[in-house]
Structure 1
Amino acid sequence: MDSGVVSLRRQGSAAGVSEAAVEGVTWQTVRGLAEMDSHGCSNGLRDEEIDAVAMAVTAVVVNTMGDKESSSRDMLTRLQQQRPLLQSVAEAPDCAATCEAVVQLCVAVTSGIFPRQTPRWWIKRRTGRTWEDLRLRDDATDEYFRQKLRMSTAMFNHIVAACAAYMEKKVTHYRMPLPVEQLIAFALYRWASGETYESGTSAFGIGRATGLQAVHDVTSALMQAYPDAIKWPMGRRRAQILRAFREKGSPNCFGAIDCTHIYIDKPAGAPSENYYDPKQKFSVQAQVVVDLDLRILDVHVGYPGTVHDVRVLHNSQLFRRAESGELFDATPENLPHGVVTRGYLLGDNGYPVACPWIVSPYGGIDQGADEERFDMRQKVARGCVERAFGLLKCMWRLFLHTHKTNLETLPQQFVVVCTLHNILLDAGIDFDENLLWEVDANGVRRRVDLGIVGNGAGGRGRCTNVEGELLRDALRDRLALM
């Protein structure tokens, strides 16, 4: 009993109420009610029982007074205002008056008469399902959202508001009405966790067919809600990109290009040899262009894993737009040997200068000092594309590991996570570098496989395009003069 009183007094002190106030109002009121009730019936409470009831009720009062802005005098006044409410219960004729007094006090607490504080969770709470945990609103919710959906609650609410108009048209097609928030949260959880549909739908309390439909509908809604999240830079943004690459030794460079493999299960009904990539895995190619801020400027996905990077490039909309002169229209840059460029991309040895607007490294072992310096600077600048793949695929882990998928919807889903990638970058996302590492089956910690397969020539990359060779040599000599 003594230890309980000490604990109670500590709680009262932490809440900003003096011991005298707590004991002088709440304790005396409740104990007086209990004594009054015990003297009025044959089955009265013993003194230690009365003390226990008074202690419990006082603890409820103290723990609900978390308003730091209110003074102790204000809190004492609120307690005094509750004495008539408690004393009126004492007129009850039976021995349940004390219990009813406790109930009345709890009703007063829940009605907002006493100041309350947002509950703090010092242990990880679980209700049994991910969706039920996401619906809770306490100080742990935001961190839980970041863990499960890769974004804050505010960012999630923003996405829900943007997609609501598109999703509400689809909700009527489900067998039972479901909140738009739940459908969007499930799709984000599916992409972020990489879990199977069976496991993910169970965590959200929906059926597998509903989960499949939700991912399809949310994908469509996000593409309609954010049509310009992935676009070629224009205006001020383009000027910033060009200036950043110039500082890296690549004037008039718009970005870096590369391909990554999305590992999938063996496609049903498709020739398996088409999807069997150089790493002996079934995969689909995704071509991405990024800038130094890791923002995605262009994405093209869907070709089987056996297809060479150059072929993916030639069949992309990026190639057609570049060849028509639509993309590279910066102010002309004069380089050595009379070479003039209005823009280009940096690529690896998978692009052996296949076109005049992709600059690849020289490669090989017989390099001069200028070529070695150029390759080093080019590799440093081009490193942004690998970092972007690391951020993108480690955040949305469905596209990091092998998974079962529908090849008809996979390209759209990957474009959507690229859209989310840009949205979260604009929101100032904090990326956890630990996501780039994993522990293998042997317990060894290693960097994750980002699916970047170098399928270029192993030796020195000789040019197949005269203009591309001249541009690379001119950039090399310009760098040597700096």
Structure 2
Amino acid sequence: MAPSPALTKVRKRKRSQHDKLDSSFDIPEAPSQRLIETEWWHDLVQRLSPSLKDLGTPGQDIDYFRSFFRVSRTTFDYICSLVRQDLVSRPPSGLINIEGRLLTVEKQVAIALRRLGSGDPQVSVGEQVGVGQSTVSQVTWRFVESMEERGKHHLKWPDAEELDTIKARFEQLGMPGCCGAIDITHMVMTLPAVESSADWYDREKNYSMALQVVVDPSLRFRDILTGWPGGMNELQLIRNCAFFRLCEGRQRLQGPPKQLSEGRQIREYIVGDLGYPLLPWLLTPYQEKDLAGAATNNFNRKQAAAVSIAETALARLKGTWRILHRVMWRPDKHKLPRIVLVCCLLHNIIIDQGNDVLPGVVLPDHHDKSYRQQICQYVDPQGQAMRDTLAGYMQEHK
């Protein structure tokens, strides 16, 4: 079930990004309180709904803007500042709207955000914003290419100080020493007959691509893996990611151990559901057959609350950037991992900018609603011993 050479090439480049997580970046400063160019916005409002052209109250205008583009005006401005140099210096050919005017950077970003946020077909997005289908395609891809490079500093593993804060917040949930929650979701797609294969055919009889995330208590993505076929289970996915290699190589989750009572201690770890293997640095719930009293049941309750953070983050991601939630019609499987990455970057940018999500945006149901819970039988003895130690401590201090 080997991925295609092109996908392997994409993943190799992503691994090199993982290897440079500690590198410094030139981070553009968020723009001052300047107003974004408004002409295109008012033209767009009138095209979508003439009754909205005289929006007068700030709340109405702001909420309409956020519901349409998924970000606040301030965050929109910041995103424009990230990609401006690329969109100005290397614009795709023929970027004009139906009035014959050259598209501004703001209009290009608006087109891309609308395409990613709504998941509507390119033709529909073009009709909404007054450009052709080919322009929507070109603009969105140029935006993805630029954001992939310019926004990558928004997705990184936390430093020691940040980890202390993260562990403190997980400890408030009853999981001392925890550094994150891991989960996967699927992007469902239709494939032409010539591309259909068992690799992409998952357990729920869909063609899909998987996304695995590690999430902190703020719902921020700290590590992602994508590009692999949805037919792979959690054990296969985690064994093929840089995060696994870093943890197994003692380059990650190797901070000072948490000192418990009576000389006991636990190392740093993350939590995952029953689909994942039980490892010394990845603690999963007790299976039903292993529940043996108050301590194990208490552990499962607290562990489930921590895992739900990742579930909430993925529901927010797919609710905000609906291109990941809708069934994709014959996507380019070589470009899709990069689109997924940029949606994850935008998800983190919204959090970093302090924006709330509008009501109704987050998916009301599970992010993988039609996917049944899988159970991995792999148990590492050291992971089992650590889970038992932690469960006993949690029961004593609940």
- Give the TM-score normalised by the residue count of structure 1: 0.66
Cα–Cα, structure 1 residues 219 and 268, in superposed 2: closer, same or farther, change >3 Å? Answer: farther
Query: Which residue of structure 2 lines up, in the alignment, with residue 456 of structure 1?
Result: 374
Match of 1:479 among 378, 382, 394: 394
Where does residue 117 of structure 2 map in the other structure?
A: 192
Contact 2:320/2:362 (CA < 8 Å) preserved in 1? Answer: no
Q: Provide closer, same or farther for how the CA distance between residues 470 and 320 of structure 1 changes in structure 2, counting only shifts above 3 A.
A: same
Q: Is the 8 A contact 1:261 1:286 kept in 2?
A: yes
- Contact between 1:261 and 1:305, CA under 8 Å: does it hold in 2? yes
The structural deviation recorded for 1:340 is 4.1
1-structure distance, mates of 2:239, 2:289: 29
1:272 alignment partner, one of 187, 197, 208: 197
- Return the alpha-carbon distance in structure 2 between the equivalents of residues 279 and 298 of structure 1: 26
Report the Cα distance in structure 2 between the residues aligned to 1:327 and 1:212, rounded to whole angstroms.
Answer: 39
Contact 1:261 1:451 in 2 (8 A): yes
Name the residue aligned to 1:374.
Answer: 299
Q: Is the 8 A contact 1:336 1:474 kept in 2?
A: no
Residue number in structure 2 paired with 1:427: 353
Q: How far apart, CA to CA, are the structure 1 residues paired with 2:177 and 2:93?
A: 50
Q: Secondary structure at the match of 1:270?
A: coil
Structure 2: distance between partners of 1:370 and 1:267? 51
Deviations 1:344-379 (A, max 9, x none): 1101000131x3210000021562221111111110
In 1, the alpha carbon distance for the partners of 2:378 and 2:190 equals 37
Measured after TM superposition, the shift of residue 319 of structure 1 is 1.0
Q: How has the CA–CA distance of structure 1 residues 423 and 385 changed in structure 2, closer, same or farther, with 3 Å as cutoff?
A: same
SS of the residue 1:219 aligns to: helix
The 5 A counterparts of 1:249-288 are 249-266=174-191, 269-288=194-213
Q: Aligned pair 1:165/2:91, yes or no?
A: no
Note if 1:402 corresponds to 2:327. Answer: yes
Report the Cα offset of residue 291 of structure 1: 1.0
Structure 1 residues 247 and 141, CA gap change in structure 2 (3 angstroms): closer
Conserved? CA contact 2:311–2:366, under 8 Å = no
Q: Which of the numbers 265, 282, 289 marks the counterpart of 1:358?
A: 282
Aligned to 1:63: none
1:348 aligns with: 273
Give 1:411 shift.
0.9
Match in the other structure for 1:110: none
Counterpart amino acid of residue 124 in structure 2: S
Q: Is the 2:167–2:179 Cα contact (8 Å) retained in structure 1?
A: yes
Contact 2:266 2:390 in 1 (8 A): no
The answer on 1:221 being equivalent to 2:140 is no
The 3 A distance-change label for structure 1 pair 392 and 473 is same
Q: Does 1:416 align with 2:347?
A: no
- For the Cα contact (< 8 Å) 1:193–1:397, is it kept in 2? yes
Instruction: Look at both structures and tell me which one has the larger radius of gyration over its CA atoms.
Output: 1
The correspondence of residues 377-392 of structure 1 with structure 2, limited to 5 A, is 377-392=302-317
Distance 1:470 1:336 in 2: 16
SS class of match (2:391): helix
Q: CA RMSD in A?
A: 2.6
1:333 alignment partner in structure 2: 258
Q: Which runs of 5+ in 1 are unaligned?
A: 1-124, 438-446
Distance 1:454 1:471, change over 3 A: farther
Structure 2 residue ranges without an equivalent (≥5): 1-43, 97-101
Q: Which amino acid aligns with 2:285?
A: P
Relative to structure 1, the CA distance from residue 369 to residue 210 in structure 2 (aligned partners, 3 Å threshold; closer, same or farther) is: same
**How many residues matched?**
344
Q: Structure 1 residues 326 and 267, CA, compared in 2 at 3 Å: closer, same or farther? A: farther
Superposed CA offset, 1:366-395 (max 9, x none): 622211111111101111011111111111
Identity %: 29
Residue pair 1:167, 1:218 contacting (<8 A) in 2 also: yes
Shift of residue 304, structure 1, vs aligned partner: 1.2
The residue matched to 2:153 in structure 1 has which SS? Answer: coil
Higher relative contact order (CA 8 A, sep 6+): 2
- Judge which range, 344-353 or 278-287, deviates more: 278-287
Of 308-317 and 340-349, more deviation after overlay is shown by 340-349
Match of 2:47 among 119, 128, 134: 128
